[in-house]
């Protein structure tokens, strides 16, 4: 654990699901309902810091998150991002994207293109809750 790393300091308290290697959390971003982060628990910076079995585990979790998000939220696109420029701790962002969201086709960190429709955001927030419940079930059933 690195004392100055915010991801090392996290607990599983707010996790949708976790095991001994990683945690899956919902990011509470009202502009992007369904935004999920998959965080490796050990302080490593890159995918190649993991052994083959660990990379396989992480990939399985990422694919389950993406698949569940697609089937429940019906986004136009899924963004998968792994940067670590600001926090050099291995983590992935999985974000449901829609053609009418505030930043599309930009990344969510890019230039805002339009205002979000509040009614649409509310509908997507409800879908995100359903997605999170399904995601928890899918990950538990996978026995990872």
Residue 21 lies in a domain: yes
Q: 9 pLDDT exceeds 80?
A: yes
Residue 1 lies in a domain: no
Residue 54 lies in a domain: yes
% of the chain beyond a pLDDT of 70: 99
What does the pLDDT read at residue 41? 95
What does the pLDDT read at residue 134? 95
Q: The domain spanning residue 49 has which CATH number?
A: 3.30.428.10
Q: 74 pLDDT exceeds 70?
A: yes
Residues 36-55, mean pLDDT to the nearest whole number = 96
| Residues composing the chain | 144
How many domains in the chain? 1
Note down the domain range covering 101.
Answer: 6-142
What does the mean pLDDT of the chain come to? 94
pLDDT tens, 52-61? 999 999 999 9
Q: 26 pLDDT exceeds 90?
A: yes
What does the pLDDT read at residue 11? 83
C-alpha span between 91 and 81 (Å, rounded): 9
Packing angle, helices 118-142 and 52-73, rounded to 10: 140
What does the pLDDT read at residue 84? 84
Q: Are 104 and 97 in contact (CB under 8 A)?
A: yes
């Amino acid at each position: 654990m690195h004392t100055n790393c915010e991801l090392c300091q996290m607990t599983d308290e707010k996790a949708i699901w976790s095991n001994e290697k990683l945690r899956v959390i919902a990011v509470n971003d009202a502009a992007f309902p369904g935004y999920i982060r998959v965080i490796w628990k050990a302080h490593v910076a890159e995918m190649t810091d993991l052994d083959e079995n660990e990379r396989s585990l992480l990939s399985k979790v990422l694919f389950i998150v993406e698949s569940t998000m697609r089937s429940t939220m019906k986004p136009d696109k899924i963004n998968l991002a792994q940067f670590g420029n600001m926090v050099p701790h291995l983590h992935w962002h999985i974000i449901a994207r829609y053609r009418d969201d505030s930043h599309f086709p930009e990344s969510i960190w890019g230039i805002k293109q339009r205002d979000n429709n509040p009614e649409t955001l509310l509908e997507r927030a409800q879908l995100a809750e359903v997605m999170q419940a399904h995601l928890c079930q899918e990950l538990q059933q996978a026995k990872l």
